[in-house]
Amino acid sequence: ARTVSFTAVRCRTTHPALQRNTGAGIRAARPVATASPEPGHEMVHFRPAMTRIVMKFGGTSVADLDRIRNVAARVKREVEAGNEVAVVVSAMAGATNQLVKWCQELSPLHDAREYDTVVATGEQVTIGLLAIALQAAGIDARSWQGWQIPIRTDDAHGKARVEAIEGAELIRRMQSGQVPVVAGFQGIGPDNRVTTLGRGGSDLSAVALAAAVRAERCDIYTDVDGVYTTDPRIVPRARKLERISYEEMLELASVGAKVLQTRSVELA
Ligand code: ADP
Ligand code: ASP
Ligand code: MG
């Protein structure tokens, strides 16, 4: 794959586009993968330096207020470099597990629609907090829940598939300098009830959003500094991969490497 440098930014232009991002990371939140929404698509080369980016931050990166401030600072850097930015966040680390546990404790055979109502709340907290942190840092930002965009899904509660995302309003706002802060993991079903996309589903939200707003890049920030041959927290001898193809990443994800959710790789 080729990397073309424009004035202030790097743009990935060719397939395979899932590759290590060389941009500077922040503590406990480093980009592990960059995905172009249109594999094989060549960008027009005479384009302004501005790049449209979706930045996704996982649970560890928003686990407390200091980390949320760090995320805001990282987003601010991209905005001040002249880029249009939308952000996708997960719930605070551990929050979703707690919500799932409460549903199971009340009833092992609970209503999947109500499960989604409960577990989708983790992301509502973090979008609001990050929007506040961005505003406090002088950046125009606004939070979006899945239904507000809307992110339309099927009715498979607990593991819904994304069917369509209305991107026009978000694009307009990004063009006017506002940063949309979008709840990962959430959508809205055919009957207008809240759905969730399966565990780890914020990765999918980010990739799907990147396609919907025609972003040049989707950067996934997490708590490891790259994709490894196996889970580096379990196997100390795991090797960091400089690059990985879609097919290899899909294989890793589908045997359980949760660093990227399987469906997000398929969609990318
Ligand atoms: P996030 O909350 O950012 O989505 P996750 O916990 O879902 O983060 O995924 C990151 C974790 O994935 C890492 O902490 C690591 O333990 C695990 N992991 C599993 N397999 C791999 C792998 N092959 N490469 C890197 N990380 C991996
Ligand atoms: N918060 C959700 C989960 O823990 C979604 C995500 O983190 O991607 O599964
Ligand atoms: Mg994850």
Q: Residue 229, class by beta-carbon neighbours within 10 Å (0-12 exposed, 13-18 middle, 19+ buried)?
A: middle
- pLDDT higher than 50, residue 26: no
Is residue 159 lining ligand 1, measured as CB closer than 6 Å?
Answer: no
Stated pTM of the model: 0.86
Ligand 1 centroid to Cα of residue 108, in Å, is 28
Mean of the per-residue pLDDT values for the chain? 87
- pLDDT higher than 90, residue 8: no
39-54: per-residue pLDDT in tens? 444 444 444 568 999 9
The residue with greater pLDDT, 15 or 96, is 96
Q: Closest ligand 2 atom, CA of 201?
A: 8
- pLDDT-derived band at 68 (thresholds 50, 70, 90) equals very high
- pLDDT-derived band at 36 (thresholds 50, 70, 90) equals low
103-129: per-residue pLDDT in tens? 999 999 999 999 999 999 999 999 999
Pocket-forming residues, ligand 2, beta carbon under 6 Å: 58-59, 90-91, 96, 122, 184-185, 199-203
CB crowding 157-178: b at 16 or more within 10 Å, else e: bbbbbbeebebeebbebbeeeb
Q: How far is CA 104 from CA 77, 97, 98, 112, 198, in A?
A: 41, 11, 10, 11, 16
- Within a 13 Å sphere around the CA of 243, how many CA atoms are in the beta-carbon half? 8
pLDDT value of position 161: 98
Ligand 3 centroid to Cα of residue 201, in Å, is 7
Lowest average pLDDT, out of 46-50, 166-170, 251-255, goes to 46-50
CB 171, CB 213: distance < 8 Å: yes
